[in-house]
Amino acid sequence: MSYSSLEACLIDLEKNGQLVRIKEEVDPYLEMAAIHLRVHEAGGPALLFENVKGTKFRAASNIFGTLERSKFIFRDTFKLVQQLIELKNDPIKAFKHPIKNFTTALAALKALPLKNPLSKSILYQEIKITDLPLIHHWPKDGGAFITLPQVYTEDIEMPGIMKSNLGMYRIQLTGNEYELNNEIGLHYQLHRGIGVHQSKANKKDLPLKVSCFVGGPPSHTLSAIMPLPEGVSEMTFAGVLGGRRFRYFYEDGFCISADADFVITGEIYPEGNKPEGPFGDHLGYYSLQHLFPVMKVHKVYAKKNAIWPFTVVGRPPQEDTSFGNLIHELTGNAIPEEIPGLKEIHAVDAAGVHPLLLAIGSERYTPYSQTRQPAELLTIANHILGTGQLSLAKFLFITADDTNQLGTNNVSNYIQYVLERIDLTRDIHFYTNTTIDTLDYSGTALNSGSKVVFAAYGDKKRELCKEVPQSLKELNEFTNAQLVMPGVIAVQMKDDRLQMTDFFKNINLQLSSIISQLSSIPLIILCDDATFVSEKLNNFLWVTFTRCNPANDIYGIDEFIANKHWGCNGPLIIDARIKPHHAPPVEKDVATEKMINRLFEKGGSLYGTK
C-alpha cells in the first residue's frame, strides 16, 4: 500500500488491529519510553500517544516493532524491491525474462524524486524546539533526543538531491551546553555519508546545511538506515519502497521533505562542537558524553496534525532489530554477491550488531592439498573488514562448509562448528590499533580498539565438553564455573581484586600442566556473573562480545608468539568483565515502571495488550 503520510500508515495499522491509542496523559520524561519498552517486549502493537504532557503534538512508537508488521506496511512493494536488488546483482535476468521484469522496471520509475509539488503543507506552522515532544528515554540520558530522524545533507561540490545523503543520526534537543531552541546536537559515527559532506564543507570553510525530517511515509524512515553505496541517494530508494516518489522543495536554501511531519533546518559550522550525550544506545550501554557537531537551528516546521514518531534503543533485541531483519530480507544476497567467495554473513543483533559477525565462505585455493586449512577464508575476511560498515566488526568468525548444511542464523550451532575445528595455534588473527564502532566502549578510546578473526576450516579436531570438567571446578582462582554451550565455560574470579596479569599468571601455571585434560574446552569466558552468562544464549553473546577488546582482553593457556603470530596450546580465555573505562549498562527506572502500571491495569488503554 502506498502511504502519503505517517498518519495514513497508522490508520491502516489500526484498521488491521495492529495499533492501540493511548488516551491518558503520559510524560515524555521516561514514561513514554518505558511504555514502549514494555509493549515491544511483549510483541505488542504500534502505539499512538494522543495526550503527551507539555506539547500539543501526538507521538507514535513501535511502528516497526515486529518483522511481520514491517513487512505488512510495505506489503505492496516488498517483492518489487527484492526483484530490483536481485536485478542489480544479476542484470542478465532482465533480458532473460523481459515480461516478468516489466513491472519491476515500471516500479523503478518511482525512484525519481519529485521537485516542487503543489502541496507545501509542511510549512503550515513554524514552531520552536520546545514545542516538540521532548522525549527523555533513559534515566542517565543527557536530555531529550530524536531517535527516528532522517538527517539530510548535500555534497557542497555536487549539490542536488541525487548526490545527497539521508542518514539516521541521533539528535539531542535539550541539555548539556546547548542554547535552548537555537542549538541541537548531531551525533554520527564512523563510515557515515554525512561525514564526507561535512569534511568537504569544512575544507571550504563553509557551514554545512542540514535538514532533519521527522515522520512522513514509513519508507522515508527505513531509507535513512538503508546501507546504500556512497553516492546513491536514499530518496530514490524511498520512492521505490514507498510506491510514491519522494516529494521535496527548497525553502531558504534548505531542502524540505514535503511529506514529513516535522522539519528542522540549520547549519553545522567548522569547529562548532559541543558535548553530546550520554544516551542509552543499541548495544545496551550508555554512549558517554563526547564532542560532536552542533547544528545552529534556522527554522522548525510542523504540518497540520503532525505526529512525532520515536523509538527506544537499549540492550537488543529492540525495535531496531526489526529494521535489521527487514533490510536483510530485502537485500538477500547483495553483500555476498559483492565479495567473491562469501556465501553468507550474519551481524548478530544480540551482540549489538557490529561487535560480532558470523560468515561462511569458500575454500577453493588449494584443492590439491591433503591438509585442509584456511586460505581463501583469510582473503574473504580481509575483504569483509574492508567493506562499508562491515569494517566496524570487532569479532569475525569465518568458516567453510563443504556439505552446504551450515547456516549463520543458528548462532549456537555455528559457534560450536567453528570451535570443533579451530586450531588455536594457527587460526586466530588480530588487527591491533584500529577502528571499532563509535558506540563500543571496550576499546582504548572513542572509535579505537582492535579486531580478531577466527578462521576455521577442515575436519573436526575435538569433541566439545558437555559439562564442566572437575579440573576447572577445583581451581583456586575460579568460582561458579558454568557450562554456556558445548565447549564454552563461563567462570568468575574468586578474588576480583587481583590484577588480570597476576590472575592469568596463576591460572596459566596451573592449567598448562593439565593441557591434555582440557582439549574439549577451546573457550573460557571470564565474567562478572557466570550464572547470568550461562542462563541464555543472548546473555552470553551480549556480555562476551560487547565487553571485550580482543587484543587487550583475549588470553591463552600456554600462549606464544612466533614470527609475530599469536597462538596458544590450551583454551582461549576472554576477559568479558566490565572494566573501569566501560560505559554503564542501561537499566529501567523502578519508579517509572510502577507509574506506567496504570495503563496496563483494567480500565487503562493498554489493558490486555500484547
pLDDT of 496: 75
Condensed to tens digits (0 to 9), the pLDDT of residues 405-442 reads 999 999 999 999 999 999 999 999 999 999 888 889 99
Domain assignment of residue 587, yes or no: no
Same domain, 197 and 81: yes
pLDDT band at 324 (very low <50, low <70, confident <90, very high): confident
pLDDT band at 232 (very low <50, low <70, confident <90, very high): low
Handedness of CA 129, 134, 138, 139 (dihedral sign): positive
Integer CA distances (angstroms), 355 to 229, 332, 363, 489, in order: 22, 21, 25, 20
Condensed to tens digits (0 to 9), the pLDDT of residues 443-463 reads 988 889 999 999 999 999 999
Q: How far apart are CA 295 and CA 265, in angstroms?
A: 9
**Vertex 394 angle, CA 388 and 395, to 5°:** 115
Same domain, 159 and 202: yes
Paired strand residues for 358: 346, 397
454, 398 contact by CB (below 8 A): yes
Which grid cell is 327?
533490510
Contact residues for 374 (Cβ-Cβ < 8 A; gap 6+): 363, 398, 427, 455, 456, 457
Average pLDDT in the 570-576 region? 96
What is the Cα 300 distance to its own chain's centre? 29
pLDDT of 270: 85
Same domain, 396 and 326: yes
**For position 54, which CATH number holds?**
2.30.110.10
312, HSE (Cβ side, Cα atoms, 13 Å): 31
Identify the domain boundary among 426, 456, 486: 456
Q: 138-152, 358-372, 517-531: which has the minimum mean pLDDT?
A: 358-372
Condensed to tens digits (0 to 9), the pLDDT of residues 60-113 reads 999 999 999 999 999 999 888 888 776 654 443 433 444 454 455 556 677 889
pLDDT of 94: 39
- The top-scoring range by mean pLDDT among 13-27, 151-165, 235-249 is 13-27
Identify the domain boundary among 421, 456, 491: 456
Q: How far apart are CA 5 and CA 367, in angstroms?
A: 56
Number of domains observed in the structure of the chain = 3
Same domain, 286 and 359: no
Q: How far apart are CA 103 and CA 84, in angstroms?
A: 10
pLDDT of 370: 63
pLDDT of 412: 97
| Per-residue pLDDT at 135 exceeds 90 | yes
pLDDT of 481: 94
Tell which residue, 129, 291, 298, 269, has the closest CA to residue 211. Answer: 298
Same domain, 296 and 358: no
Tell which residue, 9, 61, 56, 29, has the closest CA to residue 606. Answer: 61
Domain assignment of residue 540, yes or no: yes
Same domain, 21 and 141: yes
Same domain, 64 and 182: yes
Same domain, 416 and 475: no
Average pLDDT in the 342-350 region? 93
Domain assignment of residue 151, yes or no: yes
Domain assignment of residue 582, yes or no: no
Q: 46-50, 359-363, 394-398, 491-495: which has the minimum mean pLDDT?
A: 491-495
What is the Cα 234 distance to its own chain's centre? 18
Identify the domain boundary among 279, 310, 341: 310
Domain assignment of residue 126, yes or no: yes
pLDDT of 95: 38
| Per-residue pLDDT at 373 exceeds 60 | yes
Same domain, 298 and 327: no
Average pLDDT taken over every residue of the chain:
90
pLDDT of 383: 95
| Structural domain for 195, as ranges | 6-310
Comparison of pLDDT for 495 and 220, the residue scoring more: 220
Same domain, 440 and 497: no
Comparison of pLDDT for 551 and 328, the residue scoring more: 551
Domain assignment of residue 600, yes or no: no
| Per-residue pLDDT at 389 exceeds 70 | yes
Same domain, 80 and 193: yes
Average pLDDT in the 292-311 region? 97
pLDDT band at 581 (very low <50, low <70, confident <90, very high): very high
430, 452 contact by CB (below 8 A): yes
116, 245 contact by CB (below 8 A): no
Contact residues for 157 (Cβ-Cβ < 8 A; gap 6+): 200
Return phi, psi of residue 193, to 5°: -60, -30
Domain assignment of residue 1, yes or no: no
Q: What is the pTM assigned to this prediction?
A: 0.91
Q: How far apart are CA 220 and CA 262, in angstroms?
A: 13
Domain assignment of residue 375, yes or no: yes
Same domain, 190 and 108: yes
Place of cell 524511498: 238
Average pLDDT in the 540-563 region? 96
pLDDT of 91: 42
